[in-house]
Amino acid sequence: MTPPRSDGQSGSALLRRLQILRILYGVVVVGLMVVGGDFVYPRLDRRIGRIDTDIIESIVLSLLLYVVTLPAFRALGRSIRELDELQRRFRSEAIHDPLSGVFNRRHFDERLIEESERARRYGTPLSLIAIDVDLFKAINDELGHAAGDAAIQEIGRRLQHRRRRGDVLARMGGDEFTVLLPNVALDGALSLAEEIRSIFADEPMPLPAAAGQVFRIITVSCGVSELRGDDKLDFELVRRADALMYEAKERRNFVVSR
């Protein structure tokens, strides 16, 4: 990951600069007190009065503090914004698959637990679609791993385009993807799985090859299942959908639900 531009202001350098400015400010204040106490303030006291002199002294010191610390606070503000951006990027990279751009397995597992608990608490449906690319190994063997990576990227893009707001789309590893569907019953999940199958079967996928770009129809097989009341573990839903997906792969470009 490429870190954001920092304009040369590391955290330790910024702290050193603040310490130097604090010392400088202290030296200047002490100097003003010494010089002012001997020469300036007595004359001001005689001309404008002691109270007015104290006010002027406060104003001068405040302006001095503002001028001396302004560059440091600007640098501190930049560092805080850069830190926020780094945290946002680290958070995004921690939950997303770097190749496909969809969620990764770890984030999916967390969301599965959350959505399963919510479905049981409120009595709402929860369905899952397990997706596997048919004959994916042949793509790597025939066209190379660059083509395989391009296929995974395009698969992620098409799935993202079809995903509803609230759905949890994740790459489980290799050529396997999963879509978790809160508030969707089995019939609705089956309909969506058929749409997903068709967007791959009906549109060739551009892939890089040694002789130039080629277009290949890449199909997927899907297993669809719904959370049941007797499921003792959240991951029983995943295992059931995976089993149905492998059953669909025996026919390829097919969807099995139960």
pLDDT in tens, 104-148: 999 999 999 999 999 999 999 999 999 999 999 999 999 999 999
Averaged pLDDT, 40-62: 56
pLDDT of 81? 76
Q: 109-118, 145-154, 210-219 — which is least confidently predicted?
A: 210-219
Band (21; pLDDT cuts 50, 70, 90):
low
Query: pTM for this structure?
Result: 0.70
Mind giving me the DSSP string for 137-194?
Answer: HHHHHHH-HHHHHHHHHHHHHHHHHHPPTT-EEEEEETTEEEEEEET--HHHHHHHHH
**Whether residue 247 has pLDDT greater than 50:** yes
**Whether residue 38 has pLDDT greater than 70:** no
pLDDT of 52? 54
- CA 162, 167, 172, 173: dihedral to nearest 10 degrees? 30
Band (159; pLDDT cuts 50, 70, 90):
very high
**Whether residue 198 has pLDDT greater than 50:** yes
Query: Using CA atoms, how far apart are residues 100 and 175, in angstroms rounded to an integer?
Result: 10
Averaged pLDDT, 164-191: 96
pLDDT of 158? 96
- Whether the CB-CB separation of 156 and 256 falls below 8 Å is answered with no
Q: Percentage of residues in the chain with pLDDT exceeding 90?
A: 57
Higher pLDDT residue, 73 or 147?
Answer: 147
**Residue type present at position 19:** Q
**Domains located in the chain, CATH noted:** 11-95 (no CATH), 105-257 (3.30.70.270)
